[in-house]
Amino acid sequence: MEKIIRNKLYKEFIEPTKQRKNFIGIEIEVPIINLNKKPVDFDIVHKITDNFKKEFSDFSPNGIDYDGNTFSLKNPNNSDIVCYDCSYNNIEFAMGREKDLFTINNRFIEYYNYVKEEFEKYNYTLTGMGINPYRRYNKEIPIPSERYLMLYHHLKSFNKYNDIPMHFHNYPGYGMFSSASQVQLDVHYNDLIKTINTFTKIEPIKAILFSNSVLMDENKHLTCFRDALWEYSTHGINPHNIGMYDVDFEDIDDILNYLETLNIYCVMRDGAYINFETINLLEYFNKDSIKGDIYDKKGYRQIEIKPNINDIDYLRAFKFINLTFRGTVEFRSVCTQPISDTMSVAAFHLGLKEKIDELHEFISKDRVIFHKGYTASELRKLLIQDEIPSFINKKKLCELTNNILNIAKDGLNKRGLGEEIFLKPLYNRVKYHTNPGKEMIKSLHDGIKIEKIIKDYGGV
């Protein structure tokens, strides 16, 4: 059975990377904010969704909830999707794959401006923050659909795991108020090992550049609280399912070995999700049967199923760097950015991918943050705080970060499309020793109203 599992993992995650492509995919999650300091009215959300469908007639529904409301629209011509993520408190712009960032940016700005203007008619707005600053006003109600009800059911089940030596936070609905900016890049089979190993080592630098999820009124010293939301949830029961890789991969077998260490927590049968206590993949397939919960539109009931090799299709890891079934590498550790800086995330990753050999050689020789007794994971946890640890030389850290940006710029220059312009806000962050999360903390400390920050971070 283990050979069958391994072959399936190879076919799903590794085989697709052997095709030579060079596309970019971007997903941008954005919080919806009711400036009246009341819960987001979902009826207003549904009206705006209908208006969007009329304005952009190429889009058609591809997700309808149990109440008959559209939660996802797709344009079949370019594969753009405008949808709601986890709840109707978050909107997501999942841009269809393209060869250049300008094409993606132009379409994103068009969609974003339209939706924002529609919301402003009701004294609502959109903004570029990784945690909704008005989360405490909202109702944490998942989209009544198969996937999101299952996901919330899973995250709420942390009380079942009494025998696990870990601390759980009290935010099982965090998917309804946290937002990310995710990038998917085509990475060829021959570059997989170096790409994963190298990008893992620069996660601490990404924390410095991109942190933008401050939990208002709590943990205000953390500029990227999103990391903790994933780590201390039921997704983090097996730490291999979240966060960073604490190992260097030597070959494809090492990647497959790692995939075999992941946990699985849901599958589908006859179009319905079944959620069960998270369990290691190999252990799952060693079971004759598994007991889980299934939702039948009235509530959850228990069901027993037999593991099937195709259940690997529902293996979901939430690593900072993920292999996907599409043959892409997904980078998912970055918070949603101020909207005017949105493309900086993709530009950074794309440029470095183009210069992966140079980046690998450069970061391998680093002595500014590495070889100080800390792993990359530990360094990221230190660098998502608003104060740089004293053992790190701040001037040298800025030089290190600037040099990595220069490598990304060279990679974009190599493409010859002018995309390096999108890195400009990152150079400014290095110059002024800041990032959006730090800037938000400082602004609040200086007495600037959160409403002004919301407006500034939401501007194009």
Cβ partners under 8 Å of residue 186, min gap 6: 17, 21, 22, 23, 327, 328
Q: What is the pLDDT along the chain (460 residues), one digit of tens a residue?
A: 889 999 999 999 999 999 888 999 999 999 999 999 999 999 999 999 999 999 999 999 999 999 999 999 999 999 999 999 999 999 999 999 999 999 999 999 999 999 999 999 999 999 999 999 999 999 999 999 999 999 999 999 999 998 888 999 999 999 999 999 999 999 999 999 999 999 999 999 999 999 999 998 787 789 999 999 999 999 999 999 999 999 999 999 999 999 999 999 999 999 999 999 999 999 999 999 999 999 987 789 999 999 999 999 999 999 999 999 999 999 999 999 999 999 999 999 999 999 999 999 999 999 999 999 999 999 999 999 989 999 999 999 999 999 999 999 999 999 999 999 999 999 999 999 999 999 999 999 999 999 999 999 999 9
Cβ partners under 8 Å of residue 370, min gap 6: 201, 363, 376, 379
pLDDT at residue number 296: 85
Contact 11, 337 (CB under 8 A): no
Please indicate, yes or no, whether the overall pTM of this predicted structure exceeds 0.85: yes
Nearest to 49 by CA among 22, 72, 15, 20: 72
Contact 132, 69 (CB under 8 A): no
pLDDT at residue number 219: 72
pLDDT at residue number 217: 79
Q: What is the DSSP string of 68-91?
A: S-EEEEE-TTT--EEEE-SBTTEE
Structural Rg of the chain based on CA atoms: 22
pLDDT at residue number 21: 87
pLDDT at residue number 299: 87
Q: Which domains does the chain have, with CATH numbers?
A: 2-262+317-458 (3.30.590.20)
- Token digits for 444? 């609040």
Q: How far apart are the first and last CA of the chain?
A: 53
The C-alpha atoms of residue 195 and residue 99 are separated, in whole angstroms, by: 19
